[in-house]
Structures are given as structure tokens and as C-alpha cells.
Chain A
Amino acid sequence: MTINVQVPSMDPMPLPGPVWLMTGLLLLVFTLHVLAMNAALGGGMWTLWNYVRGKKPEHPNSRRLAEELAKMLPIFLAYTITLGVAALLFVQVLYGRFLYSSSILIGGYWIMVIPLVMLAYYGYYYVSYTAVRGKSRTGLVAALSVLCLLAIGFIFSNNMTLMLRPEVWLKMYRAHPNGFNLNLHDWELWPRYLHMMIGAVAVASALLAHLGMLKLKKDPEYGAWLVRRAAAVFAITTGIQFLDGLWLLLAVPRDVAMVFLRDPVAGTVFGLALMAVIAAVMLMVLGSMAEQPNSLVYAGVAMVVVTVFLMTGMRHLLRQAYLAPYLDPGAVVVKPQTSAIVIFFVLFVGGLATVAVMLWKLAKYRKMQGAAGAGEMTI
């Protein structure tokens, strides 16, 4: 990799917090963002498929699942966006000079994320309101929303790969200074995009297996059906992910990919991620294949969450390896805004507590209503 490539210089202002802290927060909120995104996109695909399938009377479970899922989609998307904003904050402060550059190069498409996400969002609301009644357009709107999200994912993959490739920026800029560029010549783009999208289906399936487990007690037939189906889709898509992951590793330039062999931390994270995903598949398959799905499924879902977190870590280490020629950790000036950081954490805990109180109130009322309902029945 040549180093006489020009990249924007560091902001003259010091970093307002320790790098480890902001990196940690970035990895945390990005993992949560990915989980929510997976639920929104993979969940949307599940909804669409089951909505279409459930139109036939012989598939009542599909119909029921589509109706239940449809109600959740806007909420998944709400948290995808909310958590994405948090990730955007920290990635800007840590990697702004790379991210702003690549965003501008694809600016014409990058800005389209906003109307696309709005369209997908309102589409999901439409689906959530109409899935039960089954309007003629419901399926079409769901498909449109999913397509919008797939397009957004593609734009994001372009930006996230392009920000790692300063050596192509100037040529690209001169080709289209109006921002209508895409990073199509990058070998890594396609496997990486597929990795995120197939991953969305896999993780959403794992979350649905979890949902199925919760349904088991009240409705064993429906619960077991959902767990088995979700676990199967999870296993299959994860299998495809293995192949795609291999393609992705081969597409990464060798000297960059070597980080997983040379660097002990990176190697460990890689190994752990591999073990976590294998464990997740085994637990999920074993738990769902039993006569009655059992708690191994829960363990499998937990391993999926661990895998996503580790994969986020790998993505971060790969980014560091790509940008190594342009990063000079010694030159980074840190001047922590300690009082603001403390206030943030206090409010963060307070915010979580507030949300917990609201959810607790909802749960308490539901319980109370259930009891009252039972009482009425006895009269």
C-alpha cells in the first residue's frame, strides 16, 4: 500500500475522550445497531414470506407469524435508526477524516439513504396497520420496504469499504465530483454486502427462534413450529455465511487480512467468533430438533449475540489494519472532557432506568388485566 496518498489531516481539535472509551462505545452501540437492523431487515423478509404463504388457509401458522411480526417491524426500524445515530457519532469522532471523504465521493447516493429509510419506515407502518386485515397492497408495500432497506445496506457497504481505500479517492473524485460514484471496483464490496444481508436473515431467524420459545408455553404447536423453522433457516443461512465469509477473507488484500494471523488479539477474536458461531449452530439445531424444543435454543441465541459482537470486533480490527498506513496513534492528542463524560454516563444509566420503569409499568398492567380477566370469567 502506498503511503504518499493524500488523506485529510487530523482535526486540529483534540479528541474529547480516551480512544479506548470511544472505541468501546462505538463497538457496543454498533453491535446493538446491527442486531436491530437484522431484526428490521431479516424480520421484514420473514414477514413478507410468511404473509404471502399465509394467504393460503393451509398455513395458519405463517399467517399468524406475519401478523405478529408486522406489528414489530416499525419498532425494530426505530431502534435501528436510533442506535445507528449513536454509532455515527463515535465513528465520526474517531474516523471522520476517512468517513467524510468517502461519504462525499458517493454523496449523490449517500444522501438517498434518508428518503429511502423514510419510505421503508412508513411502509413498515402501513404493513403493521394492514397485515391483519390483509389489504391487497400489504405484501407489495412490505416488499418495497425490504427493497429500500436492501438498497440502503448496499449504499452503506459502499461507503464502509470506500472509506478504507484512500488510494482510489482522487481518481474517483475527478471522475464524478458530483458524488455519483460507487465502490464497485472493490473486490471486497460484494462479499461484504452479502455478509451483512445474509447475516441479517440469520440473526433475525435466531431472534425468531427465541420468540418461538416464548410462545411454547401458551401454544406448543405454534411455538415449536416457529422454533424449528427459524432454527433451520438460521442453520442454512449461517452455512452460506461460511462460504461468503471465506470469499470475503480472500477478497481482502493479503497484507491486511494477515492481521488475523499476525496479531494475537485479532487472531483470538477471529478464533472466538468462529467457535461462537459453530456453537450457536449446534445449540440451535440440537435444541430445536428435540421432541419439544428446549432451552439449548436460548443458549444458541445468546451465542448468536456473542458472535455478532465478536464479528463487530473483527470488522473494527480489519478497519484498523486497512487504515494503519494513515493512522499515527502517537500524534493523536486527547483532552478528555471529563465532566461531560461523567454526566453522559449518569444520564445513560438514568435513561435506561426510565425505559425500564415504563416497560415495568406495561408488564404490571398486563398481569393485572390478565388476573382481572380471569376474575370476570368466573362470574
Chain B
Amino acid sequence: MNYPDWILGFPGGMLIALIAIVHVTVSHFAIGGGAFLVVTEKRAYGKNDTAALAYVRRHSKFFALLTVVFGAVTGVGIWFTIGLVTPEATSALIHSFVWAWAIEWVFFFVEITSAIIYATSWDRLDRKSHMLVGWIYFVAAWMSLAVINGIITFMLTPGKWLQTHNIWDGLFNPTYWPSLFARTALCVLLAGVFGLVTIGKKDGEARERLVRWSGMWMLAGSILLPAFIYWYFLKLPKFSKTYISERMIYVTHALNSGYACAALIGAVTLVFALWKPRWMRVPVVVLLVVASLGLMGSGEYVREFSRKPWVVNGYMYANDIALAEVPVLQQDGVAAKANFLLTTDTKSMEYGENLFTLECGSCHAVDGYRSMRQRVKGWDAAFATQMVAHLPMTKGPMPEFAGNEADREALGKYLASLNPPVDYGTITDANRVAVGAQVFAVHCGNCHTVNGNFRPLRDAFTNSTPDQVEGLLPMLDTMSTNMPHFDAPADQAQALAVYISTEANKSLPNPPASNQPGPPPGVK
């Protein structure tokens, strides 16, 4: 609420993701590739392999051009975008970890210097010194990962830091080691993949040998990665595991594409790199690079998403509002606290829209990405206003709404304005269950299923008649403070009751396990 909200028209997180995915891919290659260069150089000297030596010289130029320029500048790009999109979180991170970044900067400085020297001094250094520069590069590059890994993992598993605010507790947090090992495995894998890029087209025994050599790196990375990822998974917070294992369709998609990319890389490695290296042609290399981007992208997406609704777990929400700020904003209202509002007329639609961009816009677009228009279909202003008070109970990982009653009303009015009112038409015996299903989707489906996995109502309503269900509807908000008041017209209430009763009494081959997720993280 301190800073102006950069209104891009789409969630700013997408901009960060776009830059981060390419940066992360290149920067992991920048580490593994460093080791790849020196080890290949050493082998070439040892075996007096002139073809390998010519290759590694060529590869070092490509390596420097890709990592020193593109890798480094996209890294700065992440700094720029996080400052623009989540300034509060960036400020919190810089206040906690500026010395960690300063330490990382020393390694970065050594890294850039040694990369430039390594790539340009093939004829200006003796072999031993040249390899020494290569090793200096690799150690500096890996150390910069070792530092940054602490900050990235901190955001998901801050561990003891939440109590102590101690820099070392933050850096060496519960997922630090598994993440560092998993990332190192990725570095090895990507060293092999990018090693193929400069391998050249000229057929022959030397080329096949070099393809196999790259393949060995890819194989090593592919074998190590799953084990470390599993270790990482074991250390994740419970809520992250829940998202990953069952609840969120987005995470499931990302996980599946990640598995697919990894499997593809593994298969291509076995067939095209190790078994028939002659078949490793340009299209296959392109496929490998694309699959690597896919693998990195999926991995980063899962890691980011499994942290939601947080940007720093337990400290700050993804919409850049600190947990400690929420009660203040709920008490005083956004208009009293925010420095940069487009309007302070809390009754206006513009104010509601402004609240949407401020509090929801970091993860939701009106249309398109996690479309809000789709999610609030059928909501009227009164119902939307109530729903805003119960966000953490919804299926998605949502933070509490940080605002007072007037803010909720303004946001509710805006959300309701995104769709025309629903007209269910005349409800007859023939369409009653179908309409009931729609009413359920609007009024109950945000937080419940009947026979599904997410807070199923089956147990509560087995053996209930429609009349009994309908009798309960006016009392929902008195039964639980987590439920909104139900105030749809009588014919819709009746249709809803018939639907719930019918569904709950349906015989099922596998009735759902009673799964009542506790309150989401951070909600006391």
C-alpha cells in the first residue's frame, strides 16, 4: 500500500516469470558449463585430442557470449522487475539479505572477470594457468548459486527466520540443501545440453565422441535430479505438498509438463547422444534446448506456485501486503493507508477496480490469466462482498482481504459488474437439478464439492431430504463464521437443495474420503 501499483493490464508476476525462466536456464548452464569446459579441456590435453580442443575453444566463446551478456543482463532484469512488481517484498528481501547479495556480488565479479579471461586467453596463457582460470570461474559461479539459492528457498521455507530475523537462519533454511543439490544436478544436465549447441555439423568419429561426452553429462544430471527433487519435496511445507499432490490444476499441469520434458531429455540422451550419436542433428539439439527451457519453466512455476498465497511464506502475501499490515488495513481501510490510489471516492466503481488491481492484480487478470470474470460468474454485489471476507476458504490459495467493510463493498460491486446477472429462466421439475448445479457452482462451489475431494458435503447430507437441506440454507452464516449468508430467491434455493440432496445420496463406487482442509497458511 506504500507504493504505486504498476498497472500493466496483466499480472506482473508473468513479466518476472518470463525473464526469470530464460535467466535461470542460462545461469544454471553458466555454472555447469564452466565445469564442462575445464574438464573437457583437461581431457583433450590428456588424450592429445585436437578435435576436442578445437571444440572446447569454440564452445568457450559461445559460453561467454551467452552467459556474460544474456545471463548477466537478464539477472539484472529480475532485479528491475521485482522492484517494479513487488517493491515491498523486494525491500524486505534487501533489508534482510543485502550482505548476502553483496557476498554474491563478489563471486559475480570474479565470475565475469574469469569468464572473459578464460574465453580470450587460449593463446595468452599456459595450459595450467588457463585451466586454473577455468576452475576459478566454476567455483565463483557455483558459489553465487550457493548464496542466491539461500534467498530463493527462504521465500518458500523461511524456517526459524520468522522468529529470529537472523540472516543465517534465513539463508540456511529447511529447503536450502535439497534445493542446492537439485540445482547443481540441473547445472550438470544443462552443461551437456548446451554442449551440443557448438558441436558442429561435420560428421565423423570425433563428433560422435563429443556428442557422447555431452550425453554423459546429460545422463549424470538426469540420474541425480529426481533423487534430489524428491528430497526437496519432502522438506516442503505441508500446504505446498497439498497443492502439488492434489488440489491445484495449474500445478498439476506444470508438474506434468515438467515430467514430460525430463522424460524427453532422458530418452533423447539415451537414444541420440549415447546410442546413436550420429543421429544428433540440429533439430534434435533444438528439441533438447526447448525441453530444457520447459523443464526449468515448469520447475520454477511449481516452486513459485506452491508458495502461494505468499511471496515470503508467513511474512508477506503475493499481493505485496505484509501479514502484519492486514489487521491495520482491515481496521482503517485501504483509502486511509494507501499512498497511490487512482481515486479516494470509496463509493465509486473506479475505487473498486483500483482495489482489484492493488490486491488481486498480482495473480489475476480480468480476462485471460486466472481470469476473474470466469471466477465470479453469477455473483451479485452482496454475495461478492461476502465472499471477499472469506477468501482464504476458497479452493485457490488466497490471502485474507486487506481492507475494511467499505473496501469489501467497493470490491464486491466491481467484481459483480464483470458479468451480467444470471438468468436461470423458469425452473421446472425437468431442469431443477441442472439449475441447482449452477446455483451450487455460484454459491457453494468456490469452497465445497459434494462428492469431490475438496471439502465434500456428502457426509453431511447423506440421508437428508431436499426439504431438510433447504431448511439449513438461511442459517449458513450462523452455523459457521466461515460461510457467507445465503440469500438467493426461493426457487433457486429449492433447486440447490434438490441438487445437493440428489448428489449426496447418489451411490458411488468410491465415496470421497472426508477431507476437510484446515485453514490455509497464515490464517489464525
Residues in chain A within 8 A of chain B (CB atoms)? 6-9, 11-17, 22, 25, 74-75, 78-79, 81-82, 84-86, 88-90, 92-93, 96-97, 99-101, 103-105, 107, 110-111, 113-114, 117-118, 121-122, 125, 169-170, 173-174, 177-179, 337, 339-341, 343-344, 347-348, 350-351, 354-355, 358, 361-362, 365-366
Whether the Cβ atoms of B105 and A354 lie closer than 8 Å is: no
Contact of B101 among A25, A78, A89, A343 (CB under 8 A): A89
Asked if B453 is at the interface (CB within 8 A of a chain A CB), the reply is no
Whether the Cβ atoms of B95 and A89 lie closer than 8 Å is: no
16 residue pairs from A and B, CB less than 8 Å apart: A8-B3, A11-B92, A78-B68, A82-B72, A85-B79, A86-B102, A89-B94, A92-B83, A104-B83, A104-B84, A121-B69, A177-B342, A178-B6, A344-B102, A344-B103, A361-B132
A residues within 8 A CB of B8?
Answer: 178-179
Alpha-carbon separation in the docked complex, A144 to B484 (Å): 60
What is the minimal beta-carbon distance from A94 to any residue of chain B, in angstroms? 10
B residues within 8 A CB of A173?
Answer: 4, 340, 342
Interface centre among B98, B101, B109, B121 (most CB of A within 10 A): B98
Asked if B346 is at the interface (CB within 8 A of a chain A CB), the reply is no
- Chain B, interface size: which category? 35 or more
Whether the Cβ atoms of A340 and B69 lie closer than 8 Å is: no
A173-B340, A365-B125 given; A125·B76 CB < 8 A: no
B residues within 8 A CB of A366?
Answer: 124
Alpha-carbon separation in the docked complex, A347 to B72 (Å): 21
Q: DSSP class of A's interface residues: helix, strand, loop or mixed? A: helix
A residues within 8 A CB of B396?
Answer: none
Whether the Cβ atoms of B136 and A358 lie closer than 8 Å is: yes
Contact of A9 among B2, B109, B114 (CB under 8 A): B2
Whether the Cβ atoms of B91 and A16 lie closer than 8 Å is: no
Closest to A8 in B: B2
Closest to B19 in A: A114
Whether the Cβ atoms of A75 and B101 lie closer than 8 Å is: no
B residues within 8 A CB of A86?
Answer: 102, 105
A residues within 8 A CB of B74?
Answer: 114
Whether the Cβ atoms of B69 and A17 lie closer than 8 Å is: no
Interface string of B69-110 (1 = CB under 8 A from A): 110111011011101100100111011111111110111111
Asked if B41 is at the interface (CB within 8 A of a chain A CB), the reply is no
Closest 7 CB pairs of A and B: A8-B2, A340-B99, A100-B87, A13-B95, A114-B77, A351-B106, A6-B339
Contact of B4 among A81, A84, A104, A343 (CB under 8 A): A104
Whether the Cβ atoms of B3 and A100 lie closer than 8 Å is: yes
Contact of A92 among B7, B70, B81, B90 (CB under 8 A): B90
B residues within 8 A CB of A81?
Answer: 72-73, 76
Asked if B126 is at the interface (CB within 8 A of a chain A CB), the reply is yes
Closest to B343 in A: A174
B residues within 8 A CB of A16?
Answer: 95-99, 167
What is the minimal beta-carbon distance from A67 to any residue of chain B, in angstroms? 16
Asked if B473 is at the interface (CB within 8 A of a chain A CB), the reply is no
A residues within 8 A CB of B340?
Answer: 169-170, 173
Interface string of B215-253 (1 = CB under 8 A from A): 000000000000000000000000000000000000000
List 6 additional contacts besides A107-B84, A351-B140; criterion CB under 8 Å: A16-B98, A96-B90, A97-B2, A103-B80, A113-B80, A114-B80
Whether the Cβ atoms of A92 and B94 lie closer than 8 Å is: yes
B residues within 8 A CB of A96?
Answer: 87, 90-91, 94
Alpha-carbon separation in the docked complex, A107 to B81 (Å): 9
Whether the Cβ atoms of A337 and B167 lie closer than 8 Å is: yes
Interface string of B103-133 (1 = CB under 8 A from A): 1011111101110110001001110010011
Alpha-carbon separation in the docked complex, A264 to B389 (Å): 57
Closest to B9 in A: A178
Closest to B340 in A: A173
Whether the Cβ atoms of B91 and A101 lie closer than 8 Å is: no
Closest to B354 in A: A177
Whether the Cβ atoms of A337 and B99 lie closer than 8 Å is: yes
A residues within 8 A CB of B430?
Answer: none
What is the minimal beta-carbon distance from A198 to any residue of chain B, in angstroms? 26
Alpha-carbon separation in the docked complex, A27 to B83 (Å): 21
Closest to A114 in B: B77
A100-B91, A107-B6 given; A354·B110 CB < 8 A: yes
Asked if B65 is at the interface (CB within 8 A of a chain A CB), the reply is yes
Alpha-carbon separation in the docked complex, A86 to B101 (Å): 9
A82-B108, A105-B4 given; A90·B98 CB < 8 A: yes
Contact of A75 among B7, B116, B132, B339 (CB under 8 A): B116
Interface residues of B in 3-27 (CB under 8 A from A): 3-9, 15, 19
Asked if B165 is at the interface (CB within 8 A of a chain A CB), the reply is yes
A12-B322, A78-B68, A337-B99 given; A355·B113 CB < 8 A: yes
Asked if B324 is at the interface (CB within 8 A of a chain A CB), the reply is yes
A residues within 8 A CB of B126?
Answer: 365
What is the minimal beta-carbon distance from B311 to any residue of chain A, in angstroms? 14
Alpha-carbon separation in the docked complex, A69 to B478 (Å): 78
A residues within 8 A CB of B7?
Answer: 177-179
Whether the Cβ atoms of A117 and B109 lie closer than 8 Å is: no
Alpha-carbon separation in the docked complex, A168 to B7 (Å): 18
Closest to B84 in A: A107
Contact of B83 among A9, A100, A114, A125 (CB under 8 A): A100
